[in-house]
Amino acid sequence: MVLLRDARLSGAIAAARAARVASRLLRAGGGSTVPGVIARRVDPRVLQALSGRLPRGAVAVTGTNGKTTTARMAGAILRAAGVRTVSNFTGANLVTGVTAALVADSDLAGRPAAEMGLFEVDEASVPKVTAEAGLRLLAVLNLFRDQLDRYGELTHTARVIASAFGHLPPGGRVLLNADDPLVASLGRPAAHPVYYGVDEPALDTGRLQHVADSKDCPLCGAPLSYSAVYMGHVGVYRCGRCGFGRPEPAYRARRVRLQGVRGAAFVLSGPGGEAEVRLRLPGLYNVYNALAAAAVAGEAGVGMEHVVRGLEGFGGAFGRVERVRAGEREVFLLLIKNPVGFNEILRTFIAGGDARHVLVAINDNDADGRDVSWLWDVDLEMLAEAREEGLLSEMQPIMTGGLRAEDMAVRLKYAGLPVGEVIPGCDEALRRALNTTPPGETLYVLPTYTAMLKIRRALSEMGYTHPFWEDR
C-alpha cells in the first residue's frame, strides 16, 4: 500500500511539474485550463493525489444559479477564519479547471499551499470531480431551466448530480436547498443530508411564475401545494398525495429585508447560533447565495463571528454582481442566464426604483446557450407595469447589445418597454451606454456570460478595473 501510494504521488508530482512548465511556455493566462489538461495527460490520477494532501479536504458548490458568487462568499468567510483555500473562482468549473487550480497551488514536490479546496463545479462534471477530489461536502444550490441545448431536462440534471453521492467518502455530506423541491428530493438517497432555507412569509409572491420549473412532486408527480412562493418554483411546498414536503432546514434566513440595489439584510440562524447579516449584494437570490455559503462554512467548522464578518465584507463576484467605478460614473454588472435569474433582477429594480440607465447584452455562444427563446419566458411585462405605475418613471429607453441585440430589442418591444439603441457589438454598446449615462449616475449592465466577459475586458482596457482572474 505504501509503495502504491508513493507511486501515485510520484506520478502527480511529475504531472504537476509538466503542467507548470508548459503553462509558462504557453503563457496561459488566468483561468486557463491548460495546466489541468496537461497534468491529467501525464497522470490521470493527479487530482486525486493532490486533493488527498489537503489537510482539511475539499468541498464543492454546484447548481444552476449562483455557483461563483456562493463559492466566493464561502471563500471570504474561510479567509476571515484564517483558513487557506485553493479555488477555481475564475470560472473554469470542469474537472480540468479544478485540476489546474490544485496544480497552480502546489509546489514542485506536489504539496498544496492551501489547507482546503473550495471549488465551483459545473452540474455535468459533479460525478467526476466528486470521485476524484474526495469531497467532504457537496452543496447543491438550485435547479432551474438553463441551456436546454446542453443540459437537457432538469430531472436528468438532478439524476446526474445524485449519481455523485455514492462517490463521497465515509462521513461525506450533501448540503441541499430545502426550498427547491427537486434539490430537496435529492436528500432521500443521501447518507448525511443537511438543508438550508428561507423563512420569510412576507416575501411570498402569491403565485407560481409561468417559468416555474418544478411545479409537480419529484417523487410521485402530483401537483405541489405551496404555502409560500419566493421565486420561480422555490418556496414552502407540500405534496398532498405522497406527503413529500420541504425538509426542516438546519440553516435559516429569517426577517429578510430587501433594500433594492443597495443590498439586503437578514437574521442567520444555524447550529452555531444566530446573528444579523447585512449584505452589500442585492436581491433574494443573493440572500440564498449567502445562506448557502454560511452553511458551507458552518459545516466546515467555522464560527458565526467569522461567517458574519466574511459575508458583510464581500463585495461581489466579477461580472455576476459587481460594481465598477468608471470615471464619474458607476457600472453595475448583473449576470443573466435564465428566466428566473433575470426576473429576480427585475424585481430588484422595481424594489429599488432607481434603475434609470440599463444595457442588456445578449450573446448566444456555446457558453451562453445557443437557444435564446428563454428571453420570451422572462417577465419583462412586470417591468412595464412598474413603469406605468410610476415606480420606474425615470427609466430611460433600454439599450441592447451583443450578438442577439435585435432579439432582445424585439422582446422589449412586445413587453411594452421603450427601446434605445440596438448595437450588435458588446464593446461599442458599453461605450455608447456610458456616454448616455450622466456623470454621478449608474449604468446597469445585464449581460449573458460571454457578453459579460467582453464587457468586463473592455472596462479593464479602459483602465476602470482589473482583469477578471486577478482576485482583489
Average pLDDT over residues 47-58: 95
d(CA 441, CA 459): 17
What is the rounded average pLDDT of the residues 351-361?
91
Higher pLDDT, 337 or 139: 139
Decide: 286 and 226 in contact? Cβ < 8 Å.
Answer: no
- Tell me what pLDDT residue 20 has: 54
Distance CA 388, CA 392 (A): 8
| Residues constituting the chain | 472
Q: Is the pLDDT of residue 178 over 90?
A: yes
The whole-chain average pLDDT of the chain stands at 89
Note the pLDDT tens digit of each residue in 226-241: 999 999 899 999 999 9
Read off the pLDDT of residues 286-319 as tens digits, 9 standing for 90 and up: 999 999 999 999 999 999 999 999 999 998 777 6
Answer yes or no: is pLDDT of 29 > 60: no
321 falls in which pLDDT band (50, 70, 90)?
A: confident
Phi and psi at 279, nearest 5°, equal: -90, 145
pLDDT per residue as tens digits for the range 240-267: 999 999 999 999 999 999 998 889 999 9
Q: In whole angstroms, what is the distance from residue 247 CA to residue 260 CA?
A: 29
What is the percentage of the chain residues whose pLDDT exceeds 90? 74
pLDDT at 28 over 60: no
pLDDT at 239: 97
The pLDDT value given to residue 15: 56
Segment 181-189 mean pLDDT = 94
pLDDT tens per residue, range 198-210: 999 999 988 876 5
Grade residue 3 by pLDDT with cuts at 50, 70 and 90. very low
- What mean pLDDT is predicted for residues 74-95? 91
Instruction: Using the structure block, give the residue that is written with the C-alpha cell 483555500.
Output: 85
Looking at the predicted structure, is the pLDDT value of residue 30 above 60?
Answer: no
- Which set of grid coordinates corresponds to residue 54? 489537503
pLDDT band at 467; cut points 50, 70, 90 = low
Q: What is the dihedral of CA 299, 302, 306, 310, to 10 degrees?
A: -50
Q: What residues contact residue 355 under an 8 Å CB cut-off, 6+ apart? A: 261, 349, 392, 395, 442, 444
pLDDT at position 138, please? 98
Q: Where is pLDDT greater, at 24 or 94? A: 94
- CA distances to 175, 199, 237, 239, 462 from 204, rounded to whole Å, are 24, 10, 12, 18, 43
Mean pLDDT on 25-49: 74
pLDDT tens-digit map of 423-459: 999 999 999 999 999 999 999 999 999 999 999 999 9
The answer to pTM > 0.85 is yes
Q: What pLDDT does residue 1 have?
A: 37
Distance between CA atoms of 455 and 213, rounded to whole angstroms?
30
Counting residues of the chain whose pLDDT is more than 70, the rounded percentage is 88
- Is 180:223 a contact under the CB 8 Å cutoff? no
What per-residue confidence (pLDDT) applies to 206?
Answer: 85
Backbone CA torsion sign across 378, 380, 385, 386: positive
